Copies of this chain bind each other. A is one copy, B any other.
């Protein structure tokens, strides 16, 4: 049996976070000690490892909850969730790249150190001469 601290050390999920996961119904201890401390079995560890890895892969907790509820043989649903996640990630990358381009342009817009108002600051304030919408 694992204490909550054991689980934390083994999975890298912080103790208050594990309690939070319990609160929202993602994990549950097998039981409690006489002194009311949580005790977990191996499936608890496994489940938390799953959650941890899912979070590392950027899955929102609700998507993880859906995965946990799935029949392991339900290929279709599993694959769909994976694809959705991949779409999300690609979308975010695209948006961040547009942002990167914009920031580079803005940074380059000012060369001087003089008395004039910094054009970088001005560029932050106005969308006027941005390449596209963001």
Q: Which residues of A contact B (CB under 8 A)?
A: 46, 49-50, 53-54, 56-59, 67, 70, 72-76, 78-79, 82-83, 85-86, 89-90, 92-93, 96-97, 99-100, 102-104, 106-107, 110, 112-118, 120-122, 124-127, 134
Contact = CB atoms under 8 A, between A and B. Distances in A.
Contacts of A49: 125-127
| Count of this chain's copies in the oligomeric assembly | 2
A86 B103 contact: yes
A54 B124 contact: yes
A81 B58 CA distance: 27
B106 A82 contact: yes
Nearest to A54: B124
A103 to B, nearest CB: 5
